[in-house]
Chains A and B, each alone.
Chain A
Amino acid sequence: MAIDTKQFFNNKFGEQQVNGSALAGFRKKGLELFNHVGIPPVKHEEWKYTRVNSLFNDGLRYDLNPAAPSAADIEKFRLPHTVSATSLFFINGVYNESLSEIKHAAKDLVILPLETAAAGEYSDLVEKHLGHSASYHPDGIHALNAAFTHGGVFILAKKNRLIEEPVYIYHITDSRGGFTFAQPRILVYAEKQSQVQLVEYYGTLGNEGSFTNEVIEIVAEEASVVDYYKIQHEGAEANHVGTTHVRQLGKCLTNAVTISLSGGLIRNNLNMIMESEHGESHMYGLYLLNGKTHVDNHTIVDNVQPHCFSNELYKGIMDEKSTGVFNGKIFVRQDAQKTNAYQSNKNILLGDSANVNTKPQLEIFADDVKCSHGCTIGRLDEEALFYLRTRGISEKNAKSLLLHAFAVDILENIKPQSLKAFVDQIISERLDFNF
């Protein structure tokens, strides 16, 4: 049975420390908006394919002070070759300092609980940038995260520092006591001329199901380079709504790669806000789906200033009863002359019951711009398949070769080699690709 979400979360809100917290005002605003708009109903245009309201049911567990699972439970989620890397662990959406390991030097990277950052040295930055994404997502699910900005993390890449090793962020949801709700919040600030890579990875313990509602906001200053990777490889009972909001405040380069390999109901919002001239951004996505997995990628490129370049390529392979959704918005504001914005979404449907909905959306208010968009939905290229078979390659292997080739195109954009190999291995196994 569906619960009364307003009642549930207003009761829960009282459990948070209201007075004395630097984030109290921010949360209160979030709750007010949530109370005003509520969880998006099915008829909401932005949510019509992704019925997020179906996830709030009786027995929903939302623990603001979750107990830490054992180290052994955590260990199995660790990505290969990351023992010497900075690993931040969120348990049920709450940053756990004792499980996390910060291996980066303080001169390169500052990592603090968001609450601490908001109360101390970085209070101005937090106040200025936390919640910027709300104007792009004025919905109740986004507001709900703001209302419970609790146990978040603040990451700052120091000026001029070239940080080679990625920061790995693990979101572990412990569902062993029942269907569990989690709301991680992260604010990243890349100072001038810094370079930083972030990897987000998700895992659920137990089979009772989980729902992670995450917001990560990334602010990139002049001449910084930020690479962001989001890897989703969870069980069918793990659900997710996540917003990745990237703001370019100076001429800089930001890249995002979103890989969805498995899960339940998944919604990924990715925003690139081009607020400075000559900014460049690249957005890549791959969704390789089977079972009943539903993955919805909503992207926004907002060209506020002129001379920006953005390129977006999302590819999907849908098998069995899975569903893919792609909605790509490109805004070119009146001042954003000489914008170059490209977008492409390519889909292969393997299963007869698989679905895909793709919708490019361009809103252009400047007159001297180059924008393109395109989407394809198809089956495997019959001519290519025939060509391979006439060389003696079995139909099964020919399909694997072609599907792997289709997918690997996206993986080429994952720079950390061990991460790329990890994803490639999963994809190769799924596609029976062993050449």
Chain B
Amino acid sequence: MLKIKNLHAGIEEKKILNGINLEIKAGEVHAIMGPNGSGKSTLASVLAGRNSFEVTEGSVEFFDKDLLEMSPEDRARAGMFLAFQYPVEIPGVSTTNFIKTAVNEGRKYRGQEPLDAVAFLKMMKEKMKLVHIDQSLLSRSLNEGFSGGEKKRNEIFQMAMLEPRLAILDETDSGLDIDALRIVANGVNAYRNSDNAFLVVTHYQRLLDYIVPDFVHVLYNGRIVKSGTKELALELEEKGYDFIKNEVELAEQV
């Protein structure tokens, strides 16, 4: 589904990603872990198409298409979703209206008829249950005045509505208390199936107790320096990121 090859990217003169290689297949959950500044969020942003980052080398294929050539909206329509670390507040745009527009633009792109009001509402009701989100929240302006937890639940709700093939969760656990974390994780797990995949970007291991990954990758200095299974996350939790840093430095000395 997603093939990242030797991806280099940065912002202005600063290089942040220094040769990422990663392949994600349908049905898989990959976790990207790493210390602050390792490039985790940059990777998520580059994949979603944020234009403040410049890709200097490498390629990304998404369902055999050149992802880097696609606009952010076409990436979304082709099945990519980014749950933002800091969802944007947009006064004056109602959440419901926004979701409807987004869902129908995606359907149009895939050659499907737009959902009528009844079908849309039915779908919304279903997905709302998934993340325990209330109707009153959705009639308000998008994310405006939402608490941190409400914003993150709204992200997962949007994911459920848009039914992406690959969902990138950018530090979705940051700022969540345990109840909110559980709700968000349950939402993700309910949506998980053999056709879709997840890239879970996180600093801490605790989210991975709830969203259990198939693979864990450690990002350091813009490169994946170690990959493994969920046990790697536990090891990181136990030993801290310093053990990775030491290993990398040792390797470089050799």
Interface residues of A (CB under 8 A from B): 381, 383-384, 386-395, 397-398, 401-402, 404-406, 408-409, 435
Q: Does the CB pair A389–B49 fall under 8 Å? A: yes
Q: Please, how many angstroms separate the alpha-carbon atoms of A394 and B91 in the complex?
A: 19
Q: Which residues of B contact A402 (CB under 8 A)?
A: 90, 93
Q: Does the CB pair A391–B91 fall under 8 Å? A: no
Q: Which residues of B contact A386 (CB under 8 A)?
A: 49-51, 72
Q: Which residues of B contact A394 (CB under 8 A)?
A: 73, 105
A393-B91 contact given A386-B50, A386-B72, A387-B84, CB 8 Å threshold = no
A395-B92 contact given A387-B84, A401-B98, A435-B100, CB 8 Å threshold = no
B93 interface neighbour in A383, A392, A395, A401, Cβ under 8 Å: A401
B77 close to A (CB within 8 Å):
yes
Q: Does the CB pair B90–A390 fall under 8 Å? A: no
B133 close to A (CB within 8 Å):
no
Q: How far is the CB of A385 from chain B (nearest CB, A)?
A: 9
B102 close to A (CB within 8 Å):
yes
A409-B91 contact given A392-B73, A392-B106, A393-B102, CB 8 Å threshold = yes
Q: Which B residue's beta carbon lies closest to that of A394?
A: B73
Q: Does the CB pair A392–B162 fall under 8 Å? A: yes
Q: Please, how many angstroms separate the alpha-carbon atoms of A397 and B104 in the complex?
A: 12
From A383, A391, A394, A401, name the one whose CB has the most chain B CB atoms within 10 angstroms. Answer: A391
A384-B101 contact given A389-B73, A391-B158, A392-B73, CB 8 Å threshold = no
A390-B72 contact given A402-B90, A405-B93, A435-B100, CB 8 Å threshold = yes
Q: Does the CB pair A405–B91 fall under 8 Å? A: yes
Chain B, range 55-100, C-beta contacts under 8 Å to A: 71-73, 75-77, 81-82, 84, 87-88, 90-93, 97-100
B109 close to A (CB within 8 Å):
yes
Q: Which residues of A contact B76 (CB under 8 A)?
A: 389-392
Interface residues of B (CB under 8 A from A): 48-51, 71-73, 75-77, 81-82, 84, 87-88, 90-93, 97-102, 105-106, 109, 141, 158, 162
Q: How far is the CB of B77 from chain A (nearest CB, A)?
A: 5
Q: Please, how many angstroms separate the alpha-carbon atoms of A406 and B106 in the complex?
A: 25
Q: Does the CB pair A390–B98 fall under 8 Å? A: no
A383-B88 contact given A391-B102, A392-B109, A394-B105, CB 8 Å threshold = yes
Q: Which residues of A contact B100 (CB under 8 A)?
A: 435
Q: Does the CB pair B105–A409 fall under 8 Å? A: no
Q: How far is the CB of B212 from chain A (nearest CB, A)?
A: 26
A435-B90 contact given A392-B105, A393-B105, CB 8 Å threshold = no
Q: How far is the CB of A397 from chain B (nearest CB, A)?
A: 7
- 14 additional contacts, CB 8 Å, given A390-B76, A391-B76? A386-B50, A386-B51, A387-B88, A388-B90, A388-B98, A388-B102, A391-B102, A393-B73, A393-B101, A393-B105, A398-B73, A402-B93, A405-B93, A408-B92
Q: Which A residue's beta carbon lies closest to that of B100?
A: A435
Q: Please, how many angstroms separate the alpha-carbon atoms of A178 and B98 in the complex?
A: 48
Q: Which residues of A contact B87 (CB under 8 A)?
A: 387
Q: Please, how many angstroms separate the alpha-carbon atoms of A84 and B76 in the complex?
A: 50
Q: Does the CB pair A409–B92 fall under 8 Å? A: yes
Q: Does the CB pair A390–B71 fall under 8 Å? A: no
Q: Which residues of B contact A406 (CB under 8 A)?
A: 92
Q: Please, how many angstroms separate the alpha-carbon atoms of A115 and B73 in the complex?
A: 63
Q: How far is the CB of A330 from chain B (nearest CB, A)?
A: 25
Q: Please, how many angstroms separate the alpha-carbon atoms of A388 and B91 in the complex?
A: 13
16 contacts between A and B (CB under 8 A): A381-B88, A383-B88, A386-B50, A387-B90, A388-B102, A389-B71, A390-B73, A391-B73, A392-B76, A394-B105, A397-B105, A401-B101, A405-B91, A405-B141, A406-B92, A408-B92
Q: Please, how many angstroms separate the alpha-carbon atoms of A409 and B90 in the complex?
A: 12
Q: Please, how many angstroms separate the alpha-carbon atoms of A386 and B105 in the complex?
A: 15
Q: Please, how many angstroms separate the alpha-carbon atoms of A386 and B71 in the complex?
A: 10
Q: Please, how many angstroms separate the alpha-carbon atoms of A435 and B103 in the complex?
A: 12
Q: Which A residue's beta carbon lies closest to that of B109?
A: A392
Q: Please, how many angstroms separate the alpha-carbon atoms of A408 and B109 in the complex?
A: 29
Q: Which residues of B contact A383 (CB under 8 A)?
A: 88
Q: Which residues of A contact B105 (CB under 8 A)?
A: 392-394, 397
Q: Please, how many angstroms separate the alpha-carbon atoms of A435 and B76 in the complex?
A: 19
Q: Which residues of B contact A391 (CB under 8 A)?
A: 73, 76, 98-99, 102, 158, 162
Q: How far is the CB of B152 from chain A (nearest CB, A)?
A: 14
Q: Does the CB pair A404–B92 fall under 8 Å? A: yes
A384-B82 contact given A394-B105, A397-B101, CB 8 Å threshold = no
Q: How far is the CB of A292 from chain B (nearest CB, A)?
A: 28
A384 interface neighbour in B71, B75, B90, Cβ under 8 Å: B90
Q: Please, how many angstroms separate the alpha-carbon atoms of A386 and B53 in the complex?
A: 13
Q: Which residues of B contact A401 (CB under 8 A)?
A: 93, 98, 101
Q: How far is the CB of B153 from chain A (nearest CB, A)?
A: 16
Q: How far is the CB of A383 from chain B (nearest CB, A)?
A: 5
From A386, A404, A409, name the one whose CB has the most chain B CB atoms within 10 angstroms. Answer: A386
Q: Does the CB pair A390–B97 fall under 8 Å? A: no
Q: How far is the CB of B112 from chain A (nearest CB, A)?
A: 13
A392 interface neighbour in B88, B91, B102, Cβ under 8 Å: B102
Q: Please, how many angstroms separate the alpha-carbon atoms of A404 and B98 in the complex?
A: 13
Q: Which residues of B contact A404 (CB under 8 A)?
A: 92
Q: Give 3 nearest A-B pairs by CB, closest first.
A: A405-B92, A392-B76, A391-B102
Q: Which residues of B contact A408 (CB under 8 A)?
A: 92
Q: Does the CB pair A390–B93 fall under 8 Å? A: no
Q: Please, how many angstroms separate the alpha-carbon atoms of A392 and B76 in the complex?
A: 5
From A392, A398, A406, A408, name the one whose CB has the most chain B CB atoms within 10 angstroms. Answer: A392
Q: How far is the CB of A420 from chain B (nearest CB, A)?
A: 15
Q: Which residues of B contact A397 (CB under 8 A)?
A: 101, 105
Q: Does the CB pair B77–A390 fall under 8 Å? A: no
Q: Please, how many angstroms separate the alpha-carbon atoms of A435 and B92 in the complex?
A: 13
Q: Does the CB pair A395–B98 fall under 8 Å? A: no
Q: Which residues of A contact B92 (CB under 8 A)?
A: 404-406, 408-409
Q: How far is the CB of B165 from chain A (nearest CB, A)?
A: 13
Q: Does the CB pair B71–A395 fall under 8 Å? A: yes
Q: How far is the CB of A272 from chain B (nearest CB, A)?
A: 26
